[in-house]
Amino acid sequence: MSMKSFIKCNCGQRIITKDVMQTGYYLRLFGPSFVYVKFRCSRCKKLGEQFVKQEDWEDGILRDIPSEKTSDEKTKFETMGPIDIHEAIQAHFELDDLGRLTEKFAQREESK
């Protein structure tokens, strides 16, 4: 079972075809040969480069992972920013209340 490789920027963003500026081969007589990828990150806009062993290179390495989100949903979530600790705590308490809600619903059904 081989794990699919991918290229990431230092900021953590996955690099896809539209980010790539240049690719090339670095062939060696002895040892592994490499594929050279020069890119500009779509998130942080920094230039980067990476060498990938030729045996690890796959055609789909620069393809974006299909998403179930629509482009409108993607835009909405990107503008929302990361979840902070206060939001996580609030969600925890709301889920706790959800358990009580199902108990109340069961009691109401029993009383009918």
CA angle 34, 35, 40 (to 5 degrees): 135
Of 43, 50, 61, the C-alpha closest to 22 is 50
Number of other CB atoms surrounding residue 80 within 10 Å: 9
Distance between start and end Cα atoms, the chain: 56
pLDDT score of 70: 82
Please say if the pLDDT value at position 112 is more than 90: no
SS3 state of residue 103: helix
CATH no., domain 1-66: 2.30.30
Q: Give pLDDT, residue 4.
A: 57
Per-residue pLDDT of 3-37, as tens digits, reads 457 899 999 899 999 999 999 998 888 888 999 99
Average pLDDT over residues 41-69: 86
> Residue 2 above 60 pLDDT?
no
Domain boundaries, the chain: 1-66
> Distance between CA atoms of 111 and 103, rounded to whole angstroms?
13
With vertex at residue 16, the alpha carbon angle to CA 15 and CA 21, rounded to the nearest 5 degrees, is 85
> What is the pTM assigned to this prediction?
0.54
The reported pLDDT for the residue numbered 92 is 87
